[in-house]
Structure formats: C-alpha cells, structure tokens
Chains A and B, each alone.
Chain A
C-alpha cells in the first residue's frame, strides 16, 4: 500500500466473545476458543442470570488483554453496558457489535456508526452556520 508503513504486531491474536450460549458455541466450533493455564477463557456466556457487573468486568478484561485483537459482543449485551462501549476509543482490540438470535442488529445503536452520524451532524450544523 503506497505511503504506508506496515508493522506486524501480533500474528496469533485471539477473538474474544461476550454473547449468548448459541453464539459462543458456534464460534467455539469454528476454533476460536482459548483457555490459558489459569483456566481463563476468551469468552463470557451471557444468560438471564448474568449480572451487568459481570459483563462490565469481562468487557474491561478483554479490552485490556494484549493477546486479544477483536471483541465480539452481542448488540443486546452491548446495550446493557452502552456507556462503557461508547466510551471505548482504542483501535485495538476492535469492538464489534453482532446480532443475536432474538435481537437483530440495529445500526442506530452501533457505537462506531453513532460516532460517524454525530460527526456528520455536527459538520452539517457548523457548515450551516458559516
């Protein structure tokens, strides 16, 4: 790619998941599951008994681990910790909101798309004022 310097940083980074059981099961079948020597996993299964604190703790843990490149989070789970997800502004790990079985994806709630909409709405307001 012209005018870009490529730096390899991590060639075996993990994908973390915070989602319902079926979604986590499916991605584990795809080979994404990782368990370290301390029995820490790269996923959290969210069900009706999972507390918001547990989800917040898992999100904070996955976004601070250096071996994780992508965090998949079901959008309905992200809505439970929306403040935390929207205030996350690092490029890596990438936070991707995905649909779940019972909750289809809604682009209006997506963190990144909300930022784009906000930027363009503020741009149009400021250009209107000029």
Chain B
C-alpha cells in the first residue's frame, strides 16, 4: 500500500501541475470520452482450485496494460499466433516493435481526450497512474491470498 500511495501522490501532483499549465477547464471530467469504447487496460483473471482444500477458490489477477502483458520493454502478447520469443529473432524484433507502436498509439489516444497537444506533466502523470495499477494488481493478489487463507482457517476452526 505504501508504493501505491506514493505513486498515486506522484500522479496527483503531476496532474495538478498539468492542470495549472493547461487551465482547469482543459483537464476536467466534462471532457471524458463518453462515446462507446472498450478499455485498453484490462485484467486477466484466473481462478485456481487448491487440490487438497475442496470448496475453495483463489482468483489470480494479471494486468494487461494497453492490451499487453508485461512491461513495454518486454511485451508478451501474441501476434499472429506467436509470441516474440517463439518467432525468429528478426520477426520477434518486428513483433516487439509493432507491440510498442500499438501501446504508444493507445497511450496517445488516452491523452487525446484532453487535446492534441498536452503538456509533458500529463504524460508523466499517465506513467505514474500506470505504475499505480501495477501496485493495485499486487495488492489484489495479496488480498486474494489472505481471503483464501481466512476461508481455510475458518473451515479448520469449524471442524475442530
């Protein structure tokens, strides 16, 4: 939670700086894109069933940032049925390049609701909130582990 608080604080500060340079009306909820569109950053949810503990499930969350798993330096989503590691080195680099381009376009699209030209602070704020999302996924998985353990403890307690 400490790293989440820190990255959120950084993001709020950068957002305030961007608002200061652009003006309050230029960064406002009124400008949010209300046209139907799907989320570029989603969560991959997997449920694991412990074999030795019946009737319990434990969800696991993974972040798909801008449609890619992993970070922008090593994106690991499939393109044409191959991951960059499965493809040959040359096409693997091409796949990585295409993925980075795709991520870059989606990032720019998210920023574009506040105008074509945005200050650098807004881009930095975007990065801070992306970092916050990574912390959030870690916290979600920790929470899932805690709740699963609590459930098992309560089951053991009831039996005894």
Contacts and interface: CB of A to CB of B under 8 A. Distances in A.
Same complex for A and B? Answer yes
A98 interface: yes
B37 A29 contact: no
A77 interface: no
Interface residues of B, number: 65
The 7 closest A-B pairs by CB, nearest first: A31-B40, A31-B41, A34-B39, A26-B129, A30-B129, A29-B126, A69-B43
A119 interface: yes
B130 interface: yes
Given A5-B48, A30-B110, A42-B39, A98 B15 contact: no
B15 A22 contact: yes
Contacts, number: 173
Contacts of B139: 96
Contact of A32 (B50, B57, B125, B133): B133
A7 interface: yes
A10 B40 CA distance: 15
Contact of A30 (B4, B27, B33, B130): B130
A104 B29 contact: no
Interface in A77-130: 91-92, 94, 96, 98-99, 101, 104-105, 107, 112, 115-116, 119, 123
Contact of B44 (A12, A29, A33): A12
Contact of A91 (B49, B58, B106): B58
A92 B34 contact: no
B147 to A, nearest CB: 6
Contact residues of A: prevailing secondary structure: mixed
B13 to A, nearest CB: 9
A96 B129 CA distance: 16
B47 interface: yes
Contact of A6 (B5, B48, B106): B48
A12 B49 contact: no
Contacts of A72: 136
A59 B41 CA distance: 21
A107 B35 CA distance: 38
B49 A4 contact: yes
A11 B44 contact: yes
Nearest to B128: A26
Given A5-B49, A9-B46, A25-B27, A98 B8 contact: yes
Contacts of B75: none
A10 B106 CA distance: 22
A29 B110 contact: yes
A7 B48 contact: yes
Contacts of B45: 8-11, 13, 69, 92
